[in-house]
Amino acid sequence: MPEHQHIRADGTVTFLPHRLNRHPVVVRGLTADELWICCGLSGGVGLLVGAPLSWMFRTIALAPTFIVLGVALGVFVGGGILRRLKRGRPDTWLYRQLQWRIATGHPRLAGWVRGQALISRSGCWATRRLMPRSMR
């Protein structure tokens, strides 16, 4: 099929490639950004567990060991959990969910994550329409 058949007279393309602007999946259903977040959080937890144990047993090798174990466990367990949570949802679901949780749970941080841009009203919505007199 010649290339010019996909181009309209006004110069636009007749089709849009699917998933063109999506981030590629790197490991266990995580994109690169999600992988960095998962590694950072699980490495931090590994450091919090390994540092006191390293001090208690008087060996510095325990801290980096627990960091590596935390990252490995976080990527494989956290990646599986995130993959299940993200299934069937839009690409930006995780980021909007984190943004909403930070904005509603920690209002002082809402400006940092642009939480004021979210619509976070709860309650009943009304259309403000009245029934015609003939139907009352």
From first to last of its 136 residues, the chain has per-residue pLDDT tens of 555 566 677 767 666 666 666 777 788 888 888 899 899 999 999 999 999 999 999 999 999 999 999 999 999 998 889 888 888 888 788 888 888 898 888 888 888 888 878 876 777 877 777 666 666 6
Residue 18's pLDDT is 60
Long-range contacts of 40-43 (CB under 8 A, 24+ apart): 41/74, 41/78, 42/70, 42/71, 42/73, 42/74, 42/75, 42/78, 43/67, 43/70, 43/71, 43/74
